[in-house]
Structure 1
Amino acid sequence: MSRTKLCTIQHEMGFIVERGSKVFIYTIVAALIISINNVFFYVILKNSLESNHQREVASIATQIKESIEQSRIGATLYEDMIGEKLRSAAIAAESALPSRIIDVSNSQLESLRDLLLVDHISLMKRTTDNIIIQKATDPKEINLEAKTWGLWYKAFNQLFDNHNVTKGWGQSLPNFWSGPYEVASNDKKTIYKWGYYYDGKTDYIISPYVNDEKFRVYQQTTGIDAIINNVLSAYPTLNEITGINPATFEKTIKAAPKDKHIELVYRPYFFGTYTYNNEDQDIAYVNEAVKTKKTTVYRADIKDKHIEKTFIPISTDRMSDAIGLDPNDGNDRFQDTYILCIVTDYKLIESKLQKQFFTLLSIVIIVSIGCFILLFFVIRRLNRSKDKVIQQTSEIYTEEVNQMFLNIRGQRHDFLNQVNVIYGLVKMKKFDQLQSYTHNLIGEIESVNDIIQIDQPEIAALIQAKLVTAIQRKIQFTHDFPSLGHIMTSSKTADLVRMFGNLIDNAFEEVHTLEPEEHWVSCKGWIDGNRFYFLITNPINRSLTSTEQAQIFNSGFTTKVGMHSGLGLAITQSLLNNYKGEITVETENHTITFQISIPIN
């Protein structure tokens, strides 16, 4: 096998190994990028779906809040109408009854009850330290004492003293006050609404009252209960909705005995149901929601279900007077916030989230596969393009190496002829001609020997080929390459051949347009640190302007006359960018110098 073929095979094998390594690295990097992207997408998608769920719960809460508030306004107006009816009944009763309670008979009260269409009528007499029901159509009411009735007792005293109640809750009208619906103290199964009338003309308060039957029908058809049922039906993931009274929740849920009656005014929740109870956590999250005014959430397994409980603080100034009332608050203050508790079946939500996730994940996988396929074809196309370039470069390299060895073989072939010529000139004693002949002969041999001593065979072949071209075109081509060693990989030197070849060819074309004495080109290469430098200088017919120097590496730009593509320097710049190399140009005294620097390996 010839040395030329051996060098070519080594060059191509080195490139194949290097290219295979690069393709493998590019594929691994691309796979890592896509994998990391998928992980990020999974996290973002999961958080996004959970955020969507929270926004959905918040949206439901807003709808419930607005509906409930509107319903509460309607319920309050309905209660006020009943209160006004009770006041009218009380006024009518006053006109039909004696002014002193001692003169009132039970039969009179019963007749008025039936006439006024109320459930019962009671008469309350004030004593030294109490207010007692002395006459009533319901015998169980007689002799009940109001002193233990808290706020109600205070309201009665205000009514006796001022003929009006200013407690800030309940319904206050001239000479009249009515509290919210409440359980009777003598009948825990029935809820009533009482009215209390006193204008000073009698020595007793007149108290007609009615049950909550009509009010319950209203609530079930258009009130809060109806709203909650509609919402639960519309959202299958919702299990329960509760309106929690934060003022009394902890005291009545945890501290109070289970069998103890709790008045409605102090109830722990004032609408909905509370079956998914988890007392300790619920109390903590309710208190946190009230304190921070922010939604709190936790998940737990309750009643064989994995549920999520969301506690949303609702601020309102339209709450019913009874809501938020704290029985241990000496100032009888009302809170301006209640807690809307929404219980969702998180298993159903997770199932829904997983379905959405797997749908989107399938899309991501398909897109990722598409990316890999696209990447494969892009790399394949790039490799084919690079193969074509390398093939062209290898052909040039092979041709130039062959030319170099052809010159060497030619020199050896002509050696005997040259010796004969030298012998003849010596014999004829033509020493001047002998000196001139041997000088030219030795110069040619030394130039070839200098080139052979360049340890990078690709560069040596290029210089040899260009030297032959220079001789043919009568151009003085000088070169200076001290011992460089094998500095470049095969694939990189292939591109170096293209770059150096472009610069040398450009220099030859430029000096060929000048006078014969300016037909010279010099080049040299050296190593400084970890970079290899290549410098080429030649004369030019004029110096370049600053604009031309700035544009000289742009594709299509040329200073040459005639048909020229202007691609040589642009290609050189592009190749250098691939290897983090640099190229500079300087013009001085009608000469131009290009310098390339490129990292070694």
Structure 2
Amino acid sequence: MNSPHKPKPKIQLRSSLFILMISLIIVLLTDSVFYTYTKRMLTSELETKLELIADNVAISIKHSKTGEKYVENLIGQNLRTASLAAQYRLDPDIEKVTNEELIVLSKELMVDHITLMKRSGDDIIGYKSTEPKEINMSTKNWSRDWFKAFNQLLNTKETNVKSGQALPYYWSGPMNTSMSDPQYVDKWGYYYDGRTNYILDPYVHDTFFRDYQREIGVDAVIDEMIHGYTDHGAKEIAVFNPPIFLGQQEQYKKEGYTWFTDREILFGSYTMKDTRDQDMVQSVLKSKQTQQLLSNIDGKTYLKMFIPLQLDIPVVIGLTADYEKVQNSIEHQQMNLLLLIGTTAIIAFILVILSIRFINRNREATAESVQEVYVDHIGSLFRSMKEQRHDFNNHVATIHSLVHLKEFDELSRYTSEIIGETTALNDIIQINVPALSAIVQSKVIGAVERKITFEHEVANLKDVPLGAVKATDLVRIISNLIDNAFDAVSLSKKEGDKQVRLAGFVKGSSLIFQVINNGEPIPNDMLQRIFEPGFSTKNPDDHHAGLGLSIVKQLVDKYVGTVQVNSTESETTFTISIPI
């Protein structure tokens, strides 16, 4: 009798396309996130690049400042030496020294000018000099430490001011714009030891010093970073002098020249300006944290970064970089990504269609495999039942004859065998997993044929989620264990009944099966090897492949289960635990 055909489960194309559309939406959202992330990442890379430039500039400034300080102090020492030589040549009375004499002496000492200074009331003035503009020049209104240092020298005290270079009976002011001729930046030396009535003041222009700065100083490093062979990313670098740049200190100017120490930009250049620059410098000084902004200058977008730096005073390094390179890079990556997404979507659509077909075929093959197992073992069950029905008439005839002959003992033995077989068949019906029921039934028949007492107790597995594949593998596991147990009791030399017992139940979140036999115990030295492929405890002459238990171990591991063996003189137990 043919069973009614049931449609095989298939994955519907419509639901798959819906999943594909959802996936595409997710990909597009991911693309938006990628755009934002990439923009931040590239901006961060540019910021890091600028920070590295700032670090290099900071290191260059500190090294150059050290070098410049050394050179400036060396010039100051030379000016002190020139002062001592001049004192040796000049009369100690300022009234007896002429300007012409000073001109000749300055040339001999290789200095640009020499000025003699003396007190005049509450002032200290230039009295004699090779530079006419220095004569009668007042110094009492000079800013910062100058006038204080002059008074300390004339009082024959050690100079004690924050700036400049102090040596015995000598003080050299920091290099600065010349008061008498603002077109020059000069280095002065002031000497007075009490043996004259004037301060000796030889000084030189900054030509040598400025050449040193241009060739190996900070400006040279900045120029290399901007215009060198390697593109460091910066278009302009400026080291701001905060007190002047922020208007906190008024610039000193004379004849249109700004004082060297009062310049807004200490190093570099500042042509790419933004109205927010002052606020950024102020914020950096206050927070001591790096700040940045995007600025539009002449129609182009730039990233401006402001970084704090501590020199003699706190300063701020301003770096300007072309941000359009970042934007162009982002757009290029975005186009590549969209192209990749489009290509991926097409490939994904094709793969989904192929996967649907493959999964459906695989499910069909699995269902057919399970159906074959089920039909095969159920077929065995029905064949057995047909055979017993076929033999029923013979059994009845035999019973009738034994009754007629009054062979009651033989009748009792004969009917006991018939009842045992019938009971075994009835018990099988209580196992409500078809594939499992079929395999147990086939093993019952095998046990009867091999004169083995086979008992089984399987709890109701109706609510256990056994999929088609899992049920098939479970049949393979139990079949191999029972066959192994049958072989063990058949080969046993023990007297008495040969017994095999199957138990199945659910414990917690695990499905447990136990197969127990009363055959010979497994030696301890073999327990660790019984699951190895090809290993067998049976006689090698019997041609056993030794694969049954290794297959069991592989299938149990597949479902992250465990298999345990306990073997004693009385019985051997295999326990299988599979998560459900």
Q: Among 570, 573, 577, which residue is 1:593 paired with? A: 573
47-56 vs 207-216, greater mean Cα deviation = 47-56
1:129 alignment partner, one of 93, 106, 122: 122
Aligned to 1:146: 139
- What residue is the counterpart of 1:283 in the other structure? 282
1:521 to 500, 515, 527: 500
Q: Is 2:555 the counterpart of 1:575?
A: yes
Closer, same or farther: CA 510–96 of 1 in aligned 2, 3 Å: closer
Report if aligned partners of 1:122, 1:133 keep a CA contact under 8 Å in 2: yes
Query: Aligned-pair distance for 1:203?
Result: 2.1
Pairing 1:271–2:247 present:
no
Q: Aligned partners of 2:163 and 2:549: how far apart in 1?
A: 92
Matched letter for residue 518 of structure 2: P
- The answer to whether the 8 Å contact 2:253/2:259 transfers is no
- Trace 1:408-423 onto structure 2 (pairs within 5 A): 408-416=385-393, 418-419=395-396
2:382 corresponds to: 405
- The amino acid of 2:457's aligned partner reads D
Say if 1:362 and 1:574 are closer, same or farther in 2 by CA, change over 3 A.
Answer: farther
* Cα distance in structure 1, aligned partners of 2:555 and 2:259: 89
> Is 2:484 aligned against 1:506?
yes
Judge which range, 169-178 or 90-99, deviates more. 90-99
Are 1:306 and 1:347, in contact at CA under 8 Å, matched by a contact in 2?
Answer: yes
Alignment size in residue pairs: 561
Cα offset, 1:468, TM superposition: 1.9
1:475 to 452, 459, 463: 452
Q: Deviation of residue 131 (structure 1)?
A: 0.9
Cα gap change, 1:313 to 1:551, in 2 (>3 Å): farther
**Per-residue CA shift, 1:462-506, capped at 9, x if unaligned?**
122112222222223233346554643332221111111011100
1:21-100 paired onto structure 2 within 5 Å: 56-57=49-50, 59-80=52-73, 82-83=75-76, 86-87=79-80, 90=83, 94=87, 98-100=91-93
Q: AA paired with 1:75?
A: E
Shift of 1:354: 8.1
Distance 1:119 1:376, change over 3 A: farther
- The verdict on how the C-alpha distance between 1:583 and 1:95 changes in structure 2, with shifts beyond 3 A counting, is closer
Asked if 2 retains the 8 angstrom alpha-carbon contact of 1:585 and 1:595, the reply is yes
* Mean CA deviation greater in 497-506 or 573-582: 573-582
Name the CA distance, whole Å, in 2 between partners of 1:416 and 1:436: 18
C-alpha contact (below 8 Å) 1:502/1:569 kept by paired residues:
yes
Distance in 2, matches of 1:152 and 1:541, equals 112
Using the TM superposition, give the Cα deviation of residue 138 of structure 1 relative to its aligned residue in structure 2, in angstroms. Answer: 4.3
State how far apart, in whole Å, the 2-side matches of 1:344 and 1:105 are. 58
Return the alpha-carbon distance in structure 2 between the equivalents of residues 436 and 194 of structure 1. 137
Match of 1:495 in 2: 473
Measured on the aligned residues, the alpha-carbon RMSD in Å equals: 5.1
2:367–2:468 CA contact under 8 A, matched in 1: no
Q: Tell me how far apart the structure 2 counterparts of residues 251 and 64 of structure 1 sit (CA, whole Å).
A: 21
Show the counterpart of 1:313.
Answer: 309
Q: Percent identity?
A: 34
Q: AA paired with 2:576?
A: I
- Partner of 2:201, secondary structure, is strand
- The residue correspondences of 1:330-369 to structure 2 (distance < 5 A) are 340-348=317-325
CA distance in 1, matches of 2:343, 2:54: 38
Q: Out of 463-472 and 387-396, give the one that drifted further.
A: 387-396
For normalisation by structure 2, the TM-score amounts to: 0.76
Q: Give the counterpart letter for 1:306 in structure 2.
A: Y
Output one character per residue of 1:209-261: Cα deviation in whole Å (capped at 9) or x when no partner.
3333443333323333222212221354113334455xxx2465232457867
Q: Indicate conservation of the 8 Å contact 1:163/1:199, yes or no.
A: no
| SS in structure 2 of the partner of residue 203 of structure 1 | coil
Offset from partner CA, 1:413-445 (integer Å, 9 cap, x none): 444555555556666666665555544444433
Contact 2:402 2:408 in 1 (8 A): yes
Q: Residue deviations 1:251-301, cap 9 Å, x none?
A: 652324578676434556532234456112212213443xxxxx6343342
2:481 counterpart letter in structure 1? L
